[in-house]
Structure 1
Amino acid sequence: MAAEDLEWERSKISNQDLNMMKKLGLMKKEDAIRFPSEESYPNPPMEYRVSFVDHLIRGLSAPIHDFLRGLLFVYGIQLHQLTPNSILHISIFITLCECFLGIPPNWALWKRIFLLRRNASRNATYNIGGVVICVRTDVDYFDVKFPDSVQGWRKKWLYIHEESANSVEHNIIPFDGNAKIQRRRSWDAEASEEEKKATEALMSRIRQLQNTRGKELSGVQITAYFLRIRVQPLQARKNPLWTYAGGNDANRLSSDLSAKDLEKLIRRISRLNKKDPIPSSCRVEPYSSTNPLPENHPTMASLPPLPEDGEVEEQAIVAEDNQGSSLYESEVAGSHKSAASHEKEVESEASESTQSLPPAVSPKNKRKRDDAEASGTSKPEETVPSHPESAYDPYLGTLISSDDEEVLPTVDVATRTKKLTEANERANTLAQQLEHSEKARKKAELDATEARAEADKAKTDAAGVEDLRKRLHTAETSLSDHMAAQSAREEAILKRLRTQSRRFVARTAQEFQLEEPANDPLLDALSFLEVHGSEAREGIDQAKAGLSRLFPYFFPKKEEPATFLDLAKSFNSSEDLGLKMRQENMKVAVESTVALVADSQQTIDWMKVGDTNQIEQSRWRSLIKAAKPNTKKILAYLGIKPPSTPSSSRPEV
């Protein structure tokens, strides 16, 4: 039984995977995803295709992007035959083109960077994840930091709804589990000279994004970006990513992930461990609605040939399945035969950061390579190179039979001597180039030292600017607080004025009219206060004059206070000033009477006079009544003018 027949088994999707897909918005539509029930072999419903959880969390969603659909058609493969890291490669490429190059995904640029290889172990050939997308060995591309293994991804298969807005021919081909992977010329398709010339500026821009000091862009940053903005790169979208409009963008599948969920997802699909920091943003600002494309920016549209465009020559099959370079998985032999045979199934994909791709072998060398692999050696023995006229060209339209015998060249001593001379000349040339390179290296080191000094100076200047910015911010905050306090004070004054206005009406029975209150409320408030202030000042002046006249009578031996407040406090004492004054007057009257009696030279027993307890009240009153006729004479003698009306004061002792 072939290895392909043993790969499929009952799907095992955990609750953790379901929760992650819900948070990513992949299950937002009711019919977007269907899960297998008890079947151990895919049987997708009509308009559904077979995919995997690890495909979806790496940017895949239905309907499929035209660029991915074109890749499947040109390479002659199905969706389930791509590994998770290959899906991530395509997602990163589309995000790179749309967000950082400002163009749609470009087929010519893709051919300059990537090629396709078979993904197989040393003991079996797989159908699930049987091909892997690799970076060409001569291309300097982003360090994506793929994980060395993706555990058990083949067991987590499901069905996605491949809807189409146009017609069925725009969909990817239906699932065919029996279709074998056959290597095609399109796997090694290279860009033409015209395409290389057209995309040279894009390649220069990619190198600039990778190597600009302080603004280096990495594959992990690109991955984190499309996961953070919640747009699936491999989904057919109405608008490209360079028009991304933030949280209200129509292409977003869900709201922002929490920092914990985003970090967990990035570590799951990359090789970052717990000690490696997760990039919070890209060092290069991507194109979006807030950072639009420059004017007259070229679009450079270039898509792979699609089914509606007809067959292309690059789809021609090169040879049998074991033809060409294969990349081996590091799984235990037989780990795909059953679900219980190996609990932790792992898939080690080929990537440009971990393995170098061997060159594709020609049909003429196929037999010798098969013999070497059959003998148990890890690589075939070196063979004598064939004649230049019979060298294999993978881009020829005709196939060369693998049964043709190889013709060995005749040994020519003169030719070898000539080659040795040429080699010596090349060695001398290389030595001179090395000397020039050493001089260039020293100059580069000097330039680097000067650049570091300039960078340090720029950092110092930046720190000063930052300090000024902070001080400006503090001043602006202080001014804002002062203006807010002033506004609150004015509002309080106006409130008090409204209250005072009501009191003014109650007291004066007239409305106080402010002059143009809408123009200057504070000035009108001062005018209103001035009116009340005049009344208050007039009342205070009159009160002070009255109290000043009364002060000598109540406080004959004291000096009048200088301020009205102290004067008022003198009259606001705890004792009764009127009673005190009458008692003083009574004392003066008694003393004056005693003086008159003494002046009359009459003999009086003053001891008896002072003994008031022996005087009866009735007798005392009769004596006072008898003395009243002489009161006026006594007061006139003392210089006091009596009032016209009798006093109503109560008699005091």
Structure 2
Amino acid sequence: MNLLKKLGFMKKENALRFPKEESYPSPPIEYRVSFVDHLIRGLSPPIHEFLCGLLFVYGLQLHQLTPNSILHISIFITLCECFLGVHPNWALWKRIFYCRRNGSHNVTYNIGGVVICIRPDVEYFDVKFPDSVQGWRKRWLYVHEESSDSVEYNIAPFDGGAKILRRRSWDAEATEEEKSATEALMTRIHELQNTRGKELSGIQITTYFLRIRAQPLQARKNPLWMYAGEEDVERLSKDLPVNDLEKLIRRISSFSMKDTIPSSCRIKPYSGTNALPENHPVLASLPPLPEGGEVEERTVVTDDNQGTSRPESEVAGSQKSAASSEKEVESEATASTHSLPSAVSPRNKRKRDEVADSGASKAGTSPAEEVVPTEEKTTFNPYLDALPSMKEFVRLDTQFIGYRNYATKLEETLAEANKRPDALAVKLEPSEAAHKKAEADAAAVEDLRKRLHDMETSLSDNIAQQSAREKEILTRVESQSRCFVRKTQQDYDLENPEGDRLLDALSLLEIHGDEAREGLAEARSGLSRLFPYFFPKKEEPTPFVALAKHFNSQEDLGLKLRQEGLKVGVEGTITLVADSQ
């Protein structure tokens, strides 16, 4: 619960519900069965249209996919939208992936019974899946089915007893036309893997969609190449702390504490801050949805669920990360009070003749080949003939139990609602007393309001008087200014000062100012008359300060004057001698 709360799955009220005492899923109305390990790998309702198409074409329910298969789809959608700049492409998917059963020689899984594998001849990202996902089947819960524009985008109701039938579409390959259309995408994938210094890995793609907090497998308004950062409406939560993000990545991958988790991708993904190039082709190729009708690829090849399942390690061939990652320990196949129903052993099923071509379930079988089982010699058995009806009855009974529990909860809610009026009546009594007290205080409030009005009126009068006084002072100051330009011996017309100290201070200040200005003017006149005498070869400076600095020099002006006079006398004597030869 703490993990899902950090990841933002529980920020909406009643978004998730956890099982109580039930040992078999019984979701309430408008809820669907999901798994914690599916949610942390990019799944959120309503599910993405690409995932809807995959489930329809492969003839699967969501719970029949293993956690690492869910992660495969999340990485593929993130790769297409963030690094290839296209919508999830069905033709490209068929070039890379195919489906196989998930089981061992003595156990056939129904929950997580199908694994998505990478084709042995395809060079794809090494996702670093863990060797086993321990106990994921026991961590089931209920998610609220959010409304969507089309019912095809909703999660199908949980049916734990539904058989897994291998179909032609599990081995579906891209046609020559589809290969030609997606060749540029495959070339780009190889460039992303092999460009020196800018290699892209599966763990980098996983880290990216976990870090931006946008679920790849959720139906979104905009593709991830329009991701707008912290303000994006598709985000489930704020950024995870670095330690929590690294713990989450180590949980869903084979990375140990010694391995370094990449903080970012070596190549910048497309987003709102890194837009697609101009005229970039946004290819659209989605799997067919139910509104298109049944497709030929969904044809059942054989019910190989009745036979012995091949070990999971043999399913994927050379792609160990895609097959062995889902391997479960033996104890997980047993029943538990908090787990899903235990797997069904093949020895408890009806005996049938072997299929003529037992290799139909292998990876190399052509999708066009259809194996027809031989006719089975059976005798009438009322129990076996009634088995489908009994299964349907059990399914209906399970739904009835769910409806009955829901009705019981509604009755309890109604009883609580009936108790609420009495509780409200008790709470109303103090409110009525408070209302009477408020009415008694209303008179006091009105009196305070009247007093406040009187104070505001008095304040307005004071402000008006102050404004009149200020205007009067300004008038007197202007009058005094006209008088202050005169000499100090003349009389001043104060225009009835009435003992105003401010006007008296201004008058004295202006008088002293006039005296200072007169003194400066006289000093200027005297220095100007002395300047040509002491500095005959210099031009008299205009500013008074510059003029005064000449007379504040450290030099002896008298000595300098005598030297200049002596110099003039000598020059005159030499001139006379020269003229007289």
Query: How does the TM-score come out when normalised to structure 1?
Result: 0.53
Paired position in structure 2 for 1:366: 358
Q: 1:126 to 1:32 in 2, by over 3 A?
A: same
Paired position in structure 2 for 1:133: 116
Work out which of the residue numbers 327, 333, 336 in structure 1 matches 2:312: 327
The CA distance in 2 between the partners of 1:544 and 1:187, in whole Å, is 107
Once the 2 structures are TM-superposed, how far is the Cα of residue 160 of structure 1 from its aligned partner?
1.4
Once the 2 structures are TM-superposed, how far is the Cα of residue 46 of structure 1 from its aligned partner?
2.4
Paired position in structure 2 for 1:173: 156
Work out which of the residue numbers 184, 190, 199 in structure 2 matches 1:216: 199
* Aligned residue type for 2:242: A
* Aligned residue type for 1:32: A
Paired position in structure 1 for 2:502: none
The CA distance in 1 between the partners of 2:365 and 2:35, in whole Å, is 38
Once the 2 structures are TM-superposed, how far is the Cα of residue 47 of structure 1 from its aligned partner?
2.6
Q: How does 1:146-225 map to 2 (within 5 A)?
A: 146-225=129-208
Work out which of the residue numbers 46, 50, 62 in structure 1 matches 2:33: 50
Q: Secondary structure at the match of 1:364?
A: coil
The CA distance in 1 between the partners of 2:218 and 2:298, in whole Å, is 25
Aligned residues: 375
Work out which of the residue numbers 258, 267, 279 in structure 1 matches 2:241: 258
Highest RCO, 1 vs 2 (Cα 8 Å, sep ≥ 6): 2
Q: Secondary structure at the match of 1:247?
A: helix
1:77 paired to 2:60: yes
Give the conservation status (yes or no) of the 8 Å contact 2:104–2:309. Answer: no
Q: 1:144 to 1:72 in 2, by over 3 A?
A: same
Please list the CA deviations of residues 481-522 of structure 1 after superposition, one character each: whole Å capped at 9, or x if unmatched.
Answer: xxxxxxxxxxxxxxxxxxxxxxx9998579xxxxxxxxxxxx
Give the conservation status (yes or no) of the 8 Å contact 2:227–2:272. Answer: yes
Paired position in structure 1 for 2:373: 401
Give the conservation status (yes or no) of the 8 Å contact 2:192–2:200. Answer: yes
Q: 1:331 to 1:90 in 2, by over 3 A?
A: closer
Give the conservation status (yes or no) of the 8 Å contact 1:243–1:292. Answer: yes
Q: How does 1:139-538 map to 2 (within 5 A)?
A: 139-320=122-303, 321=305, 322=307, 327=312, 330-339=327-336, 363-366=355-358, 393-396=366-369, 399-402=371-374, 508=513, 534-536=543-545
Q: Secondary structure at the match of 2:53?
A: helix
1:96 paired to 2:79: yes
The percentage of counterpart residues that share the same residue type is 65
Paired position in structure 2 for 1:384: none
Give the conservation status (yes or no) of the 8 Å contact 1:366–1:402. Answer: no
* Aligned residue type for 1:168: V
The CA distance in 2 between the partners of 1:135 and 1:253, in whole Å, is 30
Once the 2 structures are TM-superposed, how far is the Cα of residue 187 of structure 1 from its aligned partner?
0.9
Give the conservation status (yes or no) of the 8 Å contact 1:323–1:366. Answer: no
Q: How does 1:18-29 map to 2 (within 5 A)?
A: 18-29=1-12
The CA distance in 2 between the partners of 1:99 and 1:323, in whole Å, is 41
Once the 2 structures are TM-superposed, how far is the Cα of residue 147 of structure 1 from its aligned partner?
0.7
The CA distance in 2 between the partners of 1:363 and 1:509, in whole Å, is 126
Give the conservation status (yes or no) of the 8 Å contact 1:91–1:234. Answer: yes
The CA distance in 2 between the partners of 1:123 and 1:50, in whole Å, is 27
Residue segments in structure 2 that go unaligned for 5+ positions in a row: 314-325, 343-353, 377-508, 516-541, 561-581
Paired position in structure 1 for 2:406: none
- Structure 1 stretch 210-219 or stretch 149-158: which is displaced more? 149-158
The CA distance in 2 between the partners of 1:147 and 1:134, in whole Å, is 15
Once the 2 structures are TM-superposed, how far is the Cα of residue 39 of structure 1 from its aligned partner?
1.2
Which of structures 1 and 2 has the bigger CA Rg?
A: 1
* Aligned residue type for 1:337: T
Work out which of the residue numbers 21, 29, 49 in structure 2 matches 1:66: 49
* Aligned residue type for 1:364: A
* Aligned residue type for 1:401: P
Give the conservation status (yes or no) of the 8 Å contact 1:95–1:233. Answer: yes
Residue segments in structure 1 that go unaligned for 5+ positions in a row: 1-17, 346-361, 371-378, 380-390, 405-503, 511-532, 553-558, 561-653
Q: 1:507 to 1:87 in 2, by over 3 A?
A: farther
Q: Secondary structure at the match of 1:146?
A: coil
Q: How does 1:497-646 map to 2 (within 5 A)?
A: 508=513, 534-536=543-545
The CA distance in 1 between the partners of 2:333 and 2:37, in whole Å, is 17
Work out which of the residue numbers 17, 22, 34 in structure 2 matches 1:34: 17
Aligned-CA RMSD value: 3.5
